[in-house]
Amino acid sequence: MANVAGNLGVGGQIRLVAELRWRILRNHLRRKNSKLDLIGLIWAAIFSGIMVIGLSFAFCWGAYISISTGHFGWLVLLFWSIFLFWQVFPLFVAGFGATFEFRTLLRFPLSLTAFYLVGLAYGLADFAAIASICWLLAIAVGAGIANPALLPAVSAILVLFVFMSTTFERLLGSWLERLLARRRTRELFFGLFILLSVSVQFIRPLITRYANGSSPSSVLRFLPYLSPFPPSLASRALAAAAGGHDATFLWSVTGILAYIGVFSALLWRRFAAQYRGEELSEAAAPARVASRVNSRTDSSSDALGLFSPQVAAVLRKEFRYLSRNGFVLVSLLMPPILVLLFSSQFGGPHPSVTHRGISPDMFFPGMMGYLILMLMTPAYNCFAYEGRGIQTYFTAPLGFRDVLLGKNLMHAGVLVFEVVLSMLVLALRIGLPSTPVFIATIAAVIFAVAGQFAIADWVSLSFPRKLEFGSMRGQRSSGVSIWVAFGVQILLAGICSLILFAGRWTNSPWLPAEAFVALAAASIAGYFATLDVLSGVAEKKKEILIETLSR
C-alpha cells in the first residue's frame, strides 16, 4: 500500500460533519418534489427568525428588569423556559428537513474523544440550540445593560449553562434512541407522549374548577422545589453575582459544574457504547422452532363477503396495519378526549372558558366539524405506510379503484367509530342537539367525508410522502397535500356554515337537514363516479408513487 489516511483533527472533522449536513439538506431540497418543501422551509425560517428575535427582546428586557429592580426570582423563569425549550423542542422538529444518522460516522477513523466532541458539537447545530443560545445572549445583554460589572460573571454562567444544556440534550437524545430502538416501545412512547400533550390541556379547567383560578404566584410557589436543578442554579448564580453574594455564586457555579461532570460522564459512557458498535436494531433473535400449525379447512363464512376479494383483501390489510401502528392507534383516543376537553371548556353547566355554556345545537355541529377536520387529514396521504408494498397493487390483476375503495372504506369505518364514540361523550357531557340539527350534522358529515375522499385520493396519488411506522419524528405529509387538505376543509366548513345559518335566518329548522341530505347523496354519487377516473390517475402516477414510497 502506497500510503494511508492522514490525521485530520477534531476541528476538521467537525467542519466536515457540518458541511455534510448542509449538503444532505441542499441535495434533499434539489429533488423535484421538494420545491414546495423549500418554500415551506423559507416560510418556517422567516417565522422562526421573527420568533427568535422577538423573544430575544423579551428575554433581554426580562433580565434587565429583573436585575435593575432586584426581582431576581424572575430570572429562574427565564432560565427554565430556555432549558425546557432546548430539551423538548428537538423531539418535535428533528425530522423537518433531511435526516442524518450521526452514528454512520463510526465507519471513519475517529478516536473516541473525537467522536464524543463531534457528537457534542453536532448538538449545537439544531434550531433549538441556536435559538436558546440567542436568548441566553439576550439575557447577557439585558444583565449587562442593567449592571455592566456583571458581564464577566454572566458570561461564565452562560458558557457553563450552554455546555450543560448541550451535554444534557445529547444525553437525553442518545438514551431515547436506545430506549426507543424497539418498534413497540417507540410506538407506545409516542402514543403516551401525545396523550400527555393533550392531557396538559386539562390543567387549566381543573385549576379553574378546584383552585379558584390560576395566577402567576401559583407557578412561583412551585419554583423552590426546582432549586437543585441547573436552570435554578444558573439563575441563583446570576442573582448572587448581582447581589454580591460570592459564596452563593460559587456554590451555584459549582453545582452547575457538578451537573456538567455527571452529564458528561454519562454521555461519554453512552457514546463509548456506540463507539464500540452497540447494536440497537430490533431484528428478532433466532426463534425457537414453533410447532407447526396444522392446516385447517376454511369453513368459516367471510365477514367481508359483501365485497370483491380484492377490496376485502385491502380492507383486511388496512385493518392489520392500523392495529400494528401503535402511534396511530393511540392517536385514535384523541377525538373523544378532545370532545371531553372542549365540552368542559365551552359547554355544560360549568364551562371554564365561557361564562355560559354553548347550547348543544351550536356545540354539536362545531365539534363534529372539528373531528372531521382532524380525522380526515391522514386520507390526504393514504399510501404513506405502504412502503415497497405499493408495487403489489400495480403487479396484481385489479383496477386501482378496488385499492382506493378498500382504503376509503377502512378510513370511513374508523370515522364512524370515532364519531359515534365522540357523540356518546357529548351526550353524556352536555346532551344531544335537537333532531333537525342532529340529522343535518350527520348528513353534513357524510357530505364532507365523501366529497373529501375523492379529492384526498387524487392528492394521495399525485403527492405521496412515505411515513415510517410508529415514528413521530419527521412524519409529515407533503406540503401540497397539507395545503389542499386545509383549503378543501375551509371550503367545506364555509359551505356547511352557510347552510346552517341559512336555516337560522329563514327560521326553517329542517332546511339544513334537507340541503345536507341532498348534498350527501350527490357527494356519494360523485365519489363513486370519480373512482374510475382516479384509477387512470394511479396508472399515470405509478412511477412517482413507487419511487417515493419504495425509497
Partner 1 sequence: MTDAAIVTQKLTRRFGALLAVDEMDLQVAAGQFFGFLGPNGAGKSTTIKMLTGLLAPSSGRVQLLGLDFSSHAVEVKRQIGVVPEGMGLFERLTGAEYLNFVGRMYGLDRATTRQRSEELLEFMQLADRPKSVIADYSHGMQKKLALAAAVIHGPRILFLDEPFEGVDALAAGALKALLGRMTERGVTIFLTSHVLEIVERLCSHVAIIHKGRLVAQGSLEELRAGTRGEEGRQTTLEEIFVSIVGQDGSERPQMEELSWLM
* Interacting residue ranges for partner 1, rule: CB under 8 A: 1-3, 183, 282-284, 287, 289-290, 292-293, 295-298, 302, 309-310, 312-313, 316-317, 320-321, 324-325, 385-399, 469, 539, 542-543, 546, 550
Whose Cβ is closer to partner 1: residue 169's or residue 386's? 386
DSSP per residue over 121-144, as a string? HHHTTSHHHHHHHHHHHHHHHHHH
* Ramachandran class of 9: left when φ > 0, alpha when ψ lies in -120 to 50, beta otherwise: left
Whose Cβ is closer to partner 1: residue 144's or residue 470's? 470
Whose Cβ is closer to partner 1: residue 246's or residue 547's? 547
Whose Cβ is closer to partner 1: residue 247's or residue 293's? 293
Whose Cβ is closer to partner 1: residue 296's or residue 356's? 296
- Amino acid identity of 277? G
Minimum gap (Å) between residue 284 Cβ and partner 1? 5
Whose Cβ is closer to partner 1: residue 312's or residue 499's? 312
Minimum gap (Å) between residue 306 Cβ and partner 1? 14
And the C-alpha cell for 277?
458498535
Instruction: Output phi, psi for 229, to 5 deg.
Output: -95, 160
Whose Cβ is closer to partner 1: residue 145's or residue 322's? 322
Minimum gap (Å) between residue 268 Cβ and partner 1? 32
Minimum gap (Å) between residue 113 Cβ and partner 1? 30
The SS3 call for residue 450 is helix
Residue 88 CA to residue 195 CA, distance in Å, equals 16
Residue 32 CA to residue 23 CA, distance in Å, equals 16
Instruction: Give the rounded distance of the alpha carbon of 335 from its chain centre.
Output: 16
* Ramachandran class of 474: left when φ > 0, alpha when ψ lies in -120 to 50, beta otherwise: left
**Are 13 and 116 contacting, i.e. CB atoms less than 8 angstroms apart?**
no
Residue 399 CA to residue 397 CA, distance in Å, equals 7
Minimum gap (Å) between residue 25 Cβ and partner 1? 24
Minimum gap (Å) between residue 460 Cβ and partner 1? 17
Residue 515 burial (CB < 10 Å; 0-12/13-18/19+)? buried
Whose Cβ is closer to partner 1: residue 110's or residue 312's? 312
Q: Which residues contact 87 (CB under 8 A, 6 or more apart)?
A: 128, 165, 168, 169, 172
**Are 214 and 207 contacting, i.e. CB atoms less than 8 angstroms apart?**
yes
Minimum gap (Å) between residue 331 Cβ and partner 1? 17
Minimum gap (Å) between residue 395 Cβ and partner 1? 5
